[in-house]
Chains A and B, each alone.
Chain A
Amino acid sequence: MDYPVWQLWGINGGLLVAIISVLHVFVAQFAVGGGFLLVHAATRAERAGSAEATFWVKRFTRFFLLLSMVFGGVSGVGIWVIISLISPAATSLLVHRFVYAWATEWVFFLGEIVALLVYYYGFGKMRFEDHRNVGLLYGLFAYLSLFMINGIITFMLTPGAWMQTQGFWDGFFNPTFWPSLLFRSALCAMLSGLFGLVWASLIDDERARELMTGVTRLWALVPIPFMAVGAWWYIGALPAPQLEMVLRRTADIRPFLEAFPWVLAALMVGGLAFFTRLPSGARVPVAALLLVLGLCQVGTFEWVRETGRRPWIVHGVIWSNGITPEAGAKSDLEGMLKVARWSGVKQVAEANMHEAGRELWQVQCANCHGLGAPMIDILPRIANRPLTGVEALITGQGALQGYMPPFVGTPAERRALATYLVNERDARRH
């Protein structure tokens, strides 16, 4: 409530965050598992004395360089940029509370980049053992950056004892840290295996292809039971409110929740049945399909996690619209327009209901809701309601609609918001 709100047209902030994050997570997780996979593949190629397989590993490494180092690295900064634009107060909290965790993650990221560059340019130039050790360092650094970011992401979902102590380690090693780490580690390994499987299926030389297919298939398959254990542990570690949010209170995530084990099973069966039975021509499309299923896993998992966190950005600390319960309580007493620094209207009056409502919409709703725009469009939700009905809907926020933060502000402000919404809806009808 301290910051200006970026007024977007045609898309809302939440959707922008989601798009950039999902793209980053796909690529970054694949890169995290990929470090060790590269070393494994290179070692197998060396032992088998297959120059073609070694050449393939080098080309696969270049793919990492171009996709994971650059796209992954820049989109990672992109997440930072977009969350600071959409949720500056929450970003500020995460930065200030975990500055050394971020800084440590940066060190690991730097190590990861240097190791990847040395590994790529060192192919065929270094002693095999040295080259392998550099590859292992790459894998280790990549994994450690996951370790660090995992602490911050899980803190947002389950701050745990931090709520009482405000201590760094209580926040970092929070109730879902370890199950999430297990799940994500397995996910990263599986994704790198699936990416590798597609690439390995394209190798011309039959011996090299079979060799690399064997390696990547192993990486795609072995993590799957660990993912299942991780998911089960994760669910078990969720405190009651988050679990309830995931399981019961949101109807809109049910399809994802129910699809999750099926997608997992499909992956497992597909992976198992894979190479012993398929003709070579069918391998690439099947591998690609498996990869898409794997990405669906990522999408589902992230979606469920985000939903479990509703209606908070940091559970119990900052609501998803960036307002803290303290600022909310103050707004209920004094009026949100007065409390919000960047509101152009400071008080509701008969003459400024629409303008005041627009300010309230921007501060409290626009982060998650579209207004005739994609993602949780508000217009269908108020389509047939009179002004009092829209007001009733707003009153129910945070109680009847527990996945939403409560409306904060005075009754006059609630009426102003309802007026604005009804006006906007009616203007679009004419």
Chain B
Amino acid sequence: MEPASLIPLADAMPGPAWWFEILLLLTFVLHLLLMNTVLGGTVIVAVHALRKPASEQGPVRDFATRLPTALALAINLGVPPLLFVQVLYGNFFYTSSVIMALWWLGIVGLVMLAYYGLYIFAINHDELGTRRIAVIVLALLLLVATSFVFSNNMTLMLQPERWLAWFERRDGALLNLGDPTLIPRWLHMLVGSIAIGGLALSLFHVRRASWGAPDAAEGIETGLRWFSHATYAQIALGIWFLMALPRDLMLRFMGGDTLATAAFILGLIGTALALLAARARSVALAVGAAVGTVTVMAVMRASLREGYLAPWAQPQPVNFVETSPLVLFLASAVCGVAAIIWMLRLMRSSRKGA
């Protein structure tokens, strides 16, 4: 069977593809930053819980209390990229999801349990005693498993030639394990999360330092250390991932494609800048550089997707334009963001008053 004949026809979009690409990219970056904070943050919290007695976990323990909220927001911010990826690549994405349906459906339960694990750890930290280690490690394993399932689906959707496996096994239990890029890509994401998680820990304590919290300096230091170590490891993993790519796709980042190459160079510069900032103990600069780096990495990821799908180009239906629903969305976004800013300001001023 020809893999190309298996690709479903795409549905028409209510707007040009580039517009949805922009929406996808923007919302994906937001989701990525929060998701990394939760995943990487949980790694840090779990390692500290395993290695240090409860009395020495002060700065990390406080950080852990924010993880459930961060996860709730990460899930919420995962909705728009999930929506826009369906708009742009639904015919690829639904297909790969069905092929690995059992695992894909499983993420719903995994994420929910992980949330309650993080919540129990944060709220009942002292009452749990040593059982808290089991709770946080379990929450971490659930999140790691979720990330692995995502990496599988995101790579499987790009490779129709691997879809043929479905004819041998139709119960949705397949993964994309035969793909040589899967493990380096997943580890690249995972270790990147630890780096961002470290920065989030530092940022959390920068705010606490402004209120005069005694262990804030230690928290900042710990976070920056995690960030730097994970980023050094990330350089090695990035090279592995790059080398594992099919040659023509790898060359996109070596001059083959202007945008991809520019993003790659900017990513390297951003990484170096973030590491230098971390050495200089400048959390704000490190965070700025890291957010910029994550953004260009997301551009690289989009470019890679484009490269993977290029040989499978489909006849595109004629897209249609609907202005008023777009206005509805943009207006709701403006009002929603304004309301959120107003509420957060109220929260801040009430804290200062307290």
- Scan residues 98-132 of chain A and give those whose CB is less than 8 A from a CB of chain B: 98-104, 106-111, 113-115, 117-118, 121-122, 125-127, 130
Q: Is A179 an interface residue (CB 8 A)?
A: no
Interface of chain B, main secondary structure? helix
Q: Mark A1-38, 1 if CB is under 8 A from B, else 0.
A: 01111111100000010001000000000000000000
User: Would A110 and B83 count as touching, CB distance under 8 A?
Assistant: no
Q: Identify the closest chain A residue to B331 (Cβ).
A: A104
Q: Is A409 an interface residue (CB 8 A)?
A: no
- Which of B47-55, B111-119, B257-265, B272-280 is the interface stretch? B111-119
Contacts of B23 in A (CB 8 A): 103
User: Would B172 and A110 count as touching, CB distance under 8 A?
Assistant: no
- Which of B91-99, B200-208, B302-310 is the interface stretch? B91-99
Given contacts A6-B98, A84-B94, A85-B105, is CB(A110)–CB(B8) below 8 Å? no
Contacts of B325 in A (CB 8 A): 98-101, 168-169
- Which of B69-77, B178-186, B242-250 is the interface stretch? B69-77
Q: Is B240 an interface residue (CB 8 A)?
A: no
Q: Is B210 an interface residue (CB 8 A)?
A: no
Bound complex: CA A75 to CA B5 (Å): 34
User: Would B115 and A95 count as touching, CB distance under 8 A?
Assistant: no
Contacts of B107 in A (CB 8 A): 81
User: Would A96 and B83 count as touching, CB distance under 8 A?
Assistant: no
Bound complex: CA A91 to CA B328 (Å): 22
Q: Is B13 an interface residue (CB 8 A)?
A: yes
- Which of B133-141, B212-220, B223-231, B339-347 is the interface stretch? B339-347
Contacts of B313 in A (CB 8 A): none
Bound complex: CA A66 to CA B5 (Å): 46
Contacts of A117 in B (CB 8 A): 69, 72
Q: Is A134 an interface residue (CB 8 A)?
A: yes
- Scan residues 141-174 of chain A and give those whose CB is less than 8 A from a CB of chain B: 141, 167-169
Q: Is B292 an interface residue (CB 8 A)?
A: no
User: Would B336 and A100 count as touching, CB distance under 8 A?
Assistant: no
User: Would B336 and A110 count as touching, CB distance under 8 A?
Assistant: yes
User: Would A341 and B6 count as touching, CB distance under 8 A?
Assistant: yes
User: Would B347 and A118 count as touching, CB distance under 8 A?
Assistant: yes
Bound complex: CA A3 to CA B166 (Å): 11
User: Would B339 and A125 count as touching, CB distance under 8 A?
Assistant: no
User: Would A85 and B101 count as touching, CB distance under 8 A?
Assistant: yes
Bound complex: CA A103 to CA B77 (Å): 11
Q: Is B318 an interface residue (CB 8 A)?
A: no
8 Å CB contact of A85 from B5, B78, B97, B350: B97
Contacts of B69 in A (CB 8 A): 117
Contacts of A362 in B (CB 8 A): 170
Bound complex: CA A342 to CA B340 (Å): 46
User: Would A92 and B78 count as touching, CB distance under 8 A?
Assistant: no
Bound complex: CA A289 to CA B350 (Å): 41
Contacts of A9 in B (CB 8 A): 171
Given contacts A110-B340, A117-B69, is CB(A130)–CB(B346) below 8 Å? yes
Q: Is A88 an interface residue (CB 8 A)?
A: yes
Bound complex: CA A9 to CA B170 (Å): 11
Contacts of B328 in A (CB 8 A): 100-101, 104
Given contacts A3-B94, A4-B99, A107-B333, is CB(A169)–CB(B324) below 8 Å? yes
Q: Is B211 an interface residue (CB 8 A)?
A: no
Contacts of A298 in B (CB 8 A): none
User: Would B76 and A73 count as touching, CB distance under 8 A?
Assistant: yes
Q: How far is the CB of B189 from chain A (nearest CB, A)?
A: 20
Bound complex: CA A102 to CA B80 (Å): 8
User: Would B97 and A118 count as touching, CB distance under 8 A?
Assistant: no
Q: How many A-B residue pairs have CB under 8 A?
A: 192
Contacts of B112 in A (CB 8 A): 70-71, 74-75
Given contacts A70-B116, A75-B108, A122-B347, is CB(A106)–CB(B172) below 8 Å? no
Q: How far is the CB of B26 from chain A (nearest CB, A)?
A: 12
8 Å CB contact of A80 from B12, B82, B167: B82
User: Would A100 and B346 count as touching, CB distance under 8 A?
Assistant: no
Total interface residues on B, CB under 8 Å, equals 67
8 Å CB contact of A8 from B83, B171, B346: B171
Q: Identify the closest chain A residue to B320 (Cβ).
A: A166
Contacts of B13 in A (CB 8 A): 96, 99
Bound complex: CA A342 to CA B115 (Å): 37
Bound complex: CA A122 to CA B75 (Å): 23
- Scan residues 311-351 of chain B and give those whose CB is less than 8 A from a CB of chain A: 322, 324-326, 328-329, 332-333, 336, 339-340, 343-344, 346-347, 350-351
User: Would A110 and B9 count as touching, CB distance under 8 A?
Assistant: no
Given contacts A2-B8, A342-B6, is CB(A95)–CB(B87) below 8 Å? yes
User: Would B99 and A74 count as touching, CB distance under 8 A?
Assistant: no
User: Would A106 and B344 count as touching, CB distance under 8 A?
Assistant: no
Given contacts A69-B72, A85-B105, A117-B69, is CB(A107)–CB(B347) below 8 Å? no
- Scan residues 347-376 of chain A and give those whose CB is less than 8 A from a CB of chain B: 362
User: Would B329 and A103 count as touching, CB distance under 8 A?
Assistant: yes
Most buried by A among B80, B325, B333, B344: B325
Q: How far is the CB of A115 from chain B (nearest CB, A)?
A: 6
Contacts of B346 in A (CB 8 A): 118, 122, 126, 130, 134
User: Would A113 and B83 count as touching, CB distance under 8 A?
Assistant: no
Q: How far is the CB of B111 from chain A (nearest CB, A)?
A: 6
Bound complex: CA A89 to CA B336 (Å): 31
User: Would B111 and A74 count as touching, CB distance under 8 A?
Assistant: yes
Bound complex: CA A130 to CA B324 (Å): 33
Contacts of B121 in A (CB 8 A): none
User: Would B72 and A111 count as touching, CB distance under 8 A?
Assistant: no
- Scan residues 104-158 of chain B and give those whose CB is less than 8 A from a CB of chain A: 104-105, 107-108, 111-112, 115-116, 119
Given contacts A125-B354, A130-B350, is CB(A88)–CB(B95) below 8 Å? yes
8 Å CB contact of A111 from B86, B119, B340: B340
Bound complex: CA A71 to CA B111 (Å): 10
Contacts of A69 in B (CB 8 A): 72
Q: Is B238 an interface residue (CB 8 A)?
A: no
User: Would B76 and A95 count as touching, CB distance under 8 A?
Assistant: no
Q: Is A287 an interface residue (CB 8 A)?
A: no
Q: Identify the closest chain A residue to B87 (Cβ).
A: A99
Extra A-B contacts (13), CB below 8 Å, given A4-B166, A75-B112, A92-B90: A3-B94, A4-B170, A6-B171, A73-B72, A88-B90, A88-B95, A95-B11, A110-B76, A111-B339, A118-B346, A121-B347, A122-B346, A130-B346
**9 chain-A/chain-B pairs, Cβ below 8 angstroms:** A4-B6, A6-B170, A7-B170, A8-B171, A71-B112, A96-B12, A96-B14, A125-B353, A341-B8
Closest 4 CB pairs of A and B: A2-B8, A88-B94, A100-B325, A78-B108
